[in-house]
Structure 1
Amino acid sequence: MSSDFKNRVKEQFGKAADGYVRDLGFAQGADLAEAAKLLQPTPDDIMLDVACGGGHTALYFAPLVRNVVASDLTMLMLKKAQEYISEEGNVDNITFREADAEDLPFPSGSFTILTCRIAPHHFSDVPRALREFHRVLRRQGGRMIIIDTLLPEDPEIAEFCQTMEKMRDPTHVRAYSRNEWIAMIENAGFKVMATKVFHKTHDFSSWAKRAGLHREGIRNLSQYFINSSSKVHDYFQIETFAGEIESYTDKKILIYATRLDKK
């Protein structure tokens, strides 16, 4: 990840930090319950939450493990997450660490669990990040959950997805299909144990504003949605009222994988 791009990410999420922390769509979700079901955390587990954002995943798992390190590239986001957890969570086993997902500042084998939720589409080098995830997980018992936006298989719908994400947030790099995720994760030395897809409905206005879009940007993005094909409207279940976009629904993929000892 270039320093220029990292600085853009820090600036973007520094400005948007409070909105992400307070967003109930991140604080809740069936994906968190499914992640816990698959990971089966115990009081002996040491967990790393990469690109922790508002701290919601770290807070969810904290009562279930020995301790959690919540890491993020953006210091202001970490500060907002720490404030949120201090206010909302009755936990004392979360520490916060500024960290680049592609160059983690932790010794090899430091963690038994690693999570990364709704963040990899901002990584410029996902394979490199996955190799780092493999490195910091223990050889025995190391397990990982990744949750992120799922890229549609249909080329037309995939192009719409990539374009609208970049229109909303220029630090979006790309989403990946299920097959792409499996290939990257296995190449990094993991065994994919399970995948699951979740639907997530977004209130269009709050979704656009959370990324820092102003009136003209929101208007252009709304028009891009409205002008899209019927195939795109159907896939994303785009809802309109009086010529305005009210909501759309995309898909998130959850991948559960365990660490293999690379020879």
Structure 2
Amino acid sequence: MQVKFYKTADERLKPYLEGYYFLKKESLVDVEYLTFPNNFISVSVYHKVGVNFQDNNAVISQNDNLDFTSILVASYKSPIKVNYVGKINEVTFCFKPLGLNSFLPNLSVFFNSSKSFLPFDDYRETMTAILNESSDEVKIIMLENYWLSKLNDFNHLLLDNLVSEMLKVDEQITITELALKYDTSRQNIHKLFSRYVGKNPADFRKIHRFREALSKRIDLLKEDKNLTVLGYEALFYDQSHMVKAFKSLTGFTPKQFFEGIELKNGAGNWFFTK
């Protein structure tokens, strides 16, 4: 299976779109892996592929009767086992926590929907053309031009500030302190995160710390630093706090997790089990 990750090229899109994966699977041998919680909102499109979610399992399989499939994933708090069956042609967009709001007037209607993600009248046709394009360079131009054509004037200063505060790695401000600082309520902060981010602020923060640990682990692989140092640098209160968070989000202890995961720079890290 061939997977390529590209960072967003156009400066106008970079505040909203982290990047995108191009995935091609030509072999008939099944591929299985675990994917772990993150704070991106992911949109995946497929050609002649069906997607079936059940509990924490996703089967993505070749289906010549389906010309186009598109799904949105905004929130999950435990690992998802993904199984690719047959030939697969996929593009996945990784939007920043608030990014997709700048393209859709009412993103929240898609968060709890089990229906196919079809946000625009020309979406199916354009994405099908992108999937069928053989050149990565041309694909990138096509997809970035498309998302640029959908940019809107979404602006929410309070929410921008709240998300920025939650992403700081050198502070541990509480939700109550955030509410006081920005003259709002805890309830309103929860409401805003649910509507525009797709998850509550506590989960957002826990996942951010976990992802910070992954990012730092990539950097520390060349250094002689242990998991305790990693925990402090990723803003876990102590070693037991880090172990508890890792087991909650991955099903593994930090030691087990880092012994098995294939760490990669990019928008996500995958744990291949086959």
TM over 0.5: no
TM-score of the pair, normalised by structure 1: 0.29
Radius of gyration: which is bigger?
A: 2
